[in-house]
Structure 1
């Protein structure tokens, strides 16, 4: 079997990525490998503490933060969100998913916290991006590859959201992404803190996640990687440089995909989940909250309809949950997710495994790239 370093180096050599950092931890031992460089211009070598835009690896962290507020008694899973998000007090849904945005009917019931955590509130991306009600998510909400400085502040963002109809009735279907951003606004309004402040106080500081946040301060820019997408003939095109969109705090800290982090920081978060919510002897979450986060909440029909996003797997709170072994790396109970900037992180409770791979090339769509698939095969022991 190839070593972790060999797996990552294969994709650096073929030009798929400028560099990558991988971590595979089991039983208190971690193999960490950094290969390639932080940019395509012969810049600094990739290091174990290189900082990446982790995109949707933000989502499990957001879910954990929401569970903290539930444990505090500030909100409940079944509680309607309208008292804190009055913009969603009277939502409407398109008559059918194919209907134009002005052909709407009232929502059959209020949106609740569980709907947001399970991505079944009615807002978000389906497998068919061409549906009329999907277009406003791109145009008005900037629900696309992360562009933090382009998104309106939370109150204005929620006002725009209130004018967009649901694609499905609450609880009816799993839709990607938007629910995490709504959840971030909910966390801020319920807690009375900004989302960055709440995450720093309740998660990042207790876990020692010193390099995780919504911006990269000037003194850390030398560790911040550049971000690319594959252009014509696979040539990598720069999307964002270290001194670009993450060099200052955005007006809208995206709870769906706005964080930067390192493999070490996300490893600390993963260890907390594997330890039933504790760090050292300090409980951050109850074991029941962790169980709810890492348990599939979808119906078989909802899993099937999720299409390429989850590849038929289930969904917990903020991440996918493997429910069957459809590929060598699918292990029932594996929890985690992928990020559109070329990142992936999972925990496998049955084996005590944490697997993280951070790279810096944008995914072309929901289909997982070979960089990730080869990494998962390595973790699975192929």
Structure 2
């Protein structure tokens, strides 16, 4: 019977990725495979505890942190964010999505915590990157593939954000990415603690996620994979182990800044699958209600349709997509999770009790998931997969 290693190996042998580490946990039956190398030269074999830049797999973690603060009554889902993010107190909106950045009207209402969690705050990327109001996201906010050492500190970043008009009225449309970075700043300001410190105390330590953070300590750089992009028919080095993540960033990105391992990501996923509970009755990270809100699709049909090409018919919860249609072999209704632009993916499927995590080190060439992810999802969804 074909196993996980056999599913991944052709993508390494064919040069699509130098290596990969994957985990499938189906109701406690766990299979892990580490294939290929941590670098394109093949000098360092991939191992189970190899460390990866997980990019947008950071988003569900940040959403969970927000829900902790909601549970504690320090903010509410329907609260305007202006008390903590005064830079968003009086937003303006471009008259139409294609209007120049100086052709604006006042926002019809204030941006709320719920708007940010559902990516409907009017901030972020549409399918058309050529719109005038999109350019400042790349230029002033340094959005795009994560480059943590190139982004200004949170207060300066928020000042830059305040000068950029919203692309849509709050609540109107789903836009990708930027809301999670805003949520990271919100967590820090509401809690009064830097985002890395909050996540370490409230999420990583309780879950035993010892290799997850916004930088890689010098002692662990030997396990840190190199990062690549496809270029000229081959792989081009983007970031070596001693590069962008070897020191703490000025801006800890709640949208894409974390590094982690397959077992650490799986620990977070298992917590969600358990409704927020820790293993062994050791308490909770979140209430069941908070997890249910995170994993519920909040989009209207029109908003889902407008989210192409980032979403392929899925809905959106807090920090991740929610499968609502069995369009593809791996789409089991209710599957929650997301993919990272650095070549990562993590999902839970409550219906089958499945956790599926895939970590590679080649950046996506666009919003669509690459073939290695699709092959992995198909395998993870098989009821007869090898154990």
Q: How would you bin the TM-score normalised by the shorter chain?
A: over 0.9
Measured in 2, the distance between the counterparts of 1:368 and 1:36 equals 20
Residues 1:277 and 2:276 aligned together: yes
Correspondences of 1:1-382 after superposition (within 5 Å): 2-233=2-233, 235-280=234-279, 281=281, 282-381=283-382
- For 1:85-139, what per-residue CA distance to the aligned partner results, in whole angstroms no more than 9, with x for missing partners? 0000000000000100000000000000000000000000000110000000000
Shift of 1:42: 2.1
Q: Is the 8 A contact 2:221 2:241 kept in 1?
A: yes
Shift of 1:26: 1.2
Measured in 1, the distance between the counterparts of 2:30 and 2:309 equals 31
Q: Is the 8 A contact 1:336 1:347 kept in 2?
A: yes
Measured in 1, the distance between the counterparts of 2:44 and 2:33 equals 15
Measured in 2, the distance between the counterparts of 1:279 and 1:152 equals 35
Give the secondary structure class of the aligned counterpart of 2:338: strand
How large is the Cα RMSD of the aligned pairs? 0.7
Give the secondary structure class of the aligned counterpart of 2:7: helix
Measured in 2, the distance between the counterparts of 1:180 and 1:314 equals 17
Shift of 1:83: 0.2
TM-score w.r.t. length of structure 1: 0.99
Q: Is the 8 A contact 1:58 1:255 kept in 2?
A: yes
Q: Is the 8 A contact 1:2 1:378 kept in 2?
A: no
Structure 1: unaligned runs, 5 residues or longer:
none
- For 1:214-268, what per-residue CA distance to the aligned partner results, in whole angstroms no more than 9, with x for missing partners? 00000000000000001012x1000000000000000000000000000100111
Q: Is the 8 A contact 1:292 1:316 kept in 2?
A: yes
Q: Is the 8 A contact 1:92 1:166 kept in 2?
A: yes
Runs (4 or more) in structure 1 with deviation over 6 Å come to: none
Shift of 1:344: 0.4
Shift of 1:275: 0.8
Measured in 2, the distance between the counterparts of 1:325 and 1:308 equals 18
Q: Is the 8 A contact 2:313 2:325 kept in 1?
A: no
Measured in 1, the distance between the counterparts of 2:321 and 2:247 equals 31
- For 1:330-363, what per-residue CA distance to the aligned partner results, in whole angstroms no more than 9, with x for missing partners? 1110000000000000000011000000000000
TM-score w.r.t. length of structure 2: 0.98
Measured in 1, the distance between the counterparts of 2:63 and 2:349 equals 18
Shift of 1:284: 1.1
- For 1:292-347, what per-residue CA distance to the aligned partner results, in whole angstroms no more than 9, with x for missing partners? 00000000000000001011210000000000101011111000000000000000
Q: Is the 8 A contact 1:127 1:308 kept in 2?
A: yes
Measured in 2, the distance between the counterparts of 1:46 and 1:302 equals 40
Measured in 2, the distance between the counterparts of 1:27 and 1:85 equals 41
Structure 2: unaligned runs, 5 residues or longer:
none
